[in-house]
């Protein structure tokens, strides 16, 4: 029995090593292939919104390690009379909406994959401030490398509740295989073409995660 467990762990170890190698190899190829598209997106952003071209933000990755996460900018920096940023809905311009619907804004994350901060498939990296809001079970999503797409993204994306999203992330952590990653990549292409689940009803994308397990229910595990 012990030899079977050791064999399973060894297979998983080499599978994950293969995943890391494939991630970087495919990211390098994808960057070369999509560089003309990325250049056109960058020019469009510069003409419409000016600098910066990229949105950069610290995000927690595997085991909570923080890295700089990149996307193409989709919102303006417009402020009110007091100098405060306008609500997201008012700053998300049609060009930015188009980039989000087509997932073109995600292309700079190929650089994150090439650097080893992210994978193509895994739980999406969220905000650093959420780390203290997870229950111990929800925090298990950080046992895997964060991804450009993931099991939660092909099962509802921003249209589902945070509780449902985190359960899907943890399911992925417990059931990961290379075949599952291939399935998720295929389903992601279909989702992008159908433009499904881009936002939660009533929000430009999704509401902030405040530590609520579901509508109005607060977890006693959250400090």
Q: Which domain holds residue 136?
A: 8-210
In the block, which residue shows the tokens 């560089």? 35
- Asked whether residue 81 is domain-assigned, the answer is yes
Q: Do the domain assignments include residue 113?
A: yes
Report CA dihedral (172, 173, 174, 175) to the nearest 10 degrees.
Answer: 40
**How many distinct structural domains can be found in the chain?**
1
- The answer to whether residue 30 is domain-embedded is yes
In a domain, 3, yes or no: no
The verdict on residue 221 lying in a domain is: no
In a domain, 116, yes or no: yes
Residue 217 is predicted with a pLDDT of 40
C-alpha triplet 185, 189, 191: angle, nearest 5°: 110
Neighbours of 79 (CB within 10 A): 11
pLDDT tens-digit profile, the chain (223 residues): 455 444 445 557 778 889 999 999 999 999 999 999 999 999 999 999 888 999 999 999 999 999 999 999 998 887 777 777 777 777 888 898 999 888 899 999 999 999 999 999 999 999 999 999 999 999 999 999 999 999 999 998 777 889 999 999 999 999 999 999 999 999 999 888 876 655 544 444 567 888 855 444 433 332 2
Assigned domain for 150 exists: yes
* φ, ψ at 165 (rounded to 5°): -60, -45
**Model-wide pTM > 0.85:** no
Residue 166 lies in a domain: yes
């Amino acid at each position: 029995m012990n030899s079977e467990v050791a064999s399973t762990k060894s297979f998983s170890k080499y599978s994950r090593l293969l995943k890391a190698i494939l991630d970087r190899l495919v990211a390098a190829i994808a960057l070369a292939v999509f560089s003309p598209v990325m250049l056109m997106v960058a020019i469009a952003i510069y003409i419409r919104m000016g600098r910066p071209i990229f949105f950069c933000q610290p995000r927690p990755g595997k085991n909570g390690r923080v890295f700089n996460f990149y996307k193409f900018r989709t919102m303006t920096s417009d402020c009110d009379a007091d100098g405060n940023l306008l609500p997201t809905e008012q700053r998300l311009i049609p060009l930015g909406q188009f980039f989000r619907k087509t997932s073109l804004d995600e292309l700079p994350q190929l650089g994150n994959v090439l650097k080893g901060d992210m994978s193509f498939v895994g739980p999406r990296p969220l905000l650093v401030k959420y780390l203290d809001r997870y229950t111990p079970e929800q925090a298990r999503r950080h046992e895997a490398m964060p991804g450009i797409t993931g099991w939660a993204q092909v099962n509802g994306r921003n249209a589902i509740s945070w509780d449902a999203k985190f359960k899907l992330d943890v399911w992925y952590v417990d059931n990961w295989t290379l075949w599952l990653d291939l399935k998720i990549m295929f389903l992601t292409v279909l989702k992008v073409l159908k433009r499904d689940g881009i936002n939660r009803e009533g929000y430009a994308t999704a509401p902030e995660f405040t530590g609520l397990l579901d509508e109005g229910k607060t977890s006693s595990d959250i400090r």
